[in-house]
Amino acid sequence: MPVLSIKQVEGCEAKVEFEGGEWEVEVHNPFTPEQEEELRWYFENHLEWPMLETVRAERAANSIRDYGAELFEQLFKEPELLAAFRKYRTDQIRVELSGAPEFHGIHWEALWDSKQPNPLAYRAVVTRRVHKKGAAKIQLQAEATIRVLVVVARPGGGEDVGYRTI
């Protein structure tokens, strides 16, 4: 499966690797702080009362396509990268993102090729990693025992379904 790797270099600069090629791109959040606030409201508050403010909600939902299309244009400015990307169906590509937390503030799951009916994340696997310079790598010894911690939420106490019966 081809991997579209997007790595933050510094600030808004990123390195895109795909199919053996490398491209330097500049990526900015396509939205203003006000538009970001609308998205935050839509995803965090609107679902609590979906029957209220339906016009505002529809406007915010529709803005996701604009956001994703603008982000796609920024990322695929280079014709060679775009041509290599379009050789594949969306479900044949894996997207790997790595960078600082601010870089992950961009809504990468909204990435939307205007020639497609849905955002890339509908069919492609999108993974994220945060840069941690100087972080120690953990070395684990292989053992014959596998330890598993199972956590079961039982807010109803004795009235909940017993975990062994699920």
59 occurs within a structural domain: yes
**Residues 57/46, Cβ–Cβ less than 8 Å:** yes
119 occurs within a structural domain: yes
- pTM of the full predicted structure? 0.73
The torsion region of residue 53 among left (phi > 0), alpha (psi -120 to 50) and beta comes to left
Count of domains in the chain?
1
144 occurs within a structural domain: no
**Domain span including residue 114:** 3-132
84 occurs within a structural domain: yes
Residues 105, 125, 1, 113, Cα dihedral to 10°: -70
d(CA 55, CA 38): 12
60 occurs within a structural domain: yes
Over residues 39-87, the pLDDT tens digits come to 999 988 898 888 889 999 999 999 999 999 999 999 999 999 999 999 9
Percent of the chain with pLDDT over 90: 48
Residue with tokens 């796609």: 72
137 occurs within a structural domain: no
Of 33, 40, 2, nearest in space to 19 by CA: 2
104 occurs within a structural domain: yes
